[in-house]
Structure 1
Amino acid sequence: MKTDIHPKTFKAKVVCNCGYQAEVLSTKGETVSVEICSNCHPFYTGKQRFVDTAGRIDRFRKKYAKFEEKKA
């Protein structure tokens, strides 16, 4: 195996917004922050929850609000 071609790995602590923490090997650094993990993602938990980090749902509702008003 060639020397000095592999990236430096760290024993990283991954921290999710829900509070979950795990220790993994990473090339990103010693602490890695994530927005969603397997403990809070709807696919793994079975609970429906809207994940709206960029305001997409609000923009969609605002854009199509005029169509909803015509129905009523």
Structure 2
Amino acid sequence: MKEKIHPKYVDCTVTCGCGHSFKTRSTKPELKVEICSNCHPFFTGQEKFLDSAGRVERFTKKFGGNYFVKGKQEKGKSKA
């Protein structure tokens, strides 16, 4: 490696918005993040499925529950 062109690699403290902090190494001595594995819903087991404004129901109402099955059947009929 060339000398005097690489940044200093120092101990770093990462602080989350929830208050959790941990140590790692980086080119900056301090990092602040909004979310970490201590408070992220996937890691805490509080993951929720949110249907934004009933989009699934609107799609089902508009196209019917077997929308994809009909498309496959019509393609098969046109070939015969």
When normalised by structure 2's length, the TM-score is: 0.52
**Identical-pair percentage:** 48
How far apart are the structure 2 equivalents of 1:11 and 1:37? Answer: 18
Q: Which runs of 5+ in 2 are unaligned?
A: 54-80
Partner residue in 1 for 2:21 = 21
Following superposition, the deviation at residue 37 of structure 1 comes to: 0.3
Residue identity opposite 2:13 in structure 1: K
How far apart are the structure 1 equivalents of 2:29 and 2:3? Answer: 23
**If you compute each CA radius of gyration, which structure gives the higher value, 1 or 2?**
2
Normalized per residue, which structure has more helix?
A: 2
Which of structures 1 and 2 has the larger relative contact order (alpha carbons within 8 angstroms, sep 6+)? Answer: 1
Residue identity opposite 1:14 in structure 2: V
When normalised by structure 1's length, the TM-score is: 0.56
Task: Give the CA RMSD over aligned residues.
Answer: 2.0
How far apart are the structure 1 equivalents of 2:11 and 2:3? Answer: 21
Structure-to-structure mapping, 1:1-72, within 5 angstroms? 1-27=1-27, 29-48=28-47
Q: Which runs of 5+ in 1 are unaligned?
A: 50-59, 62-72
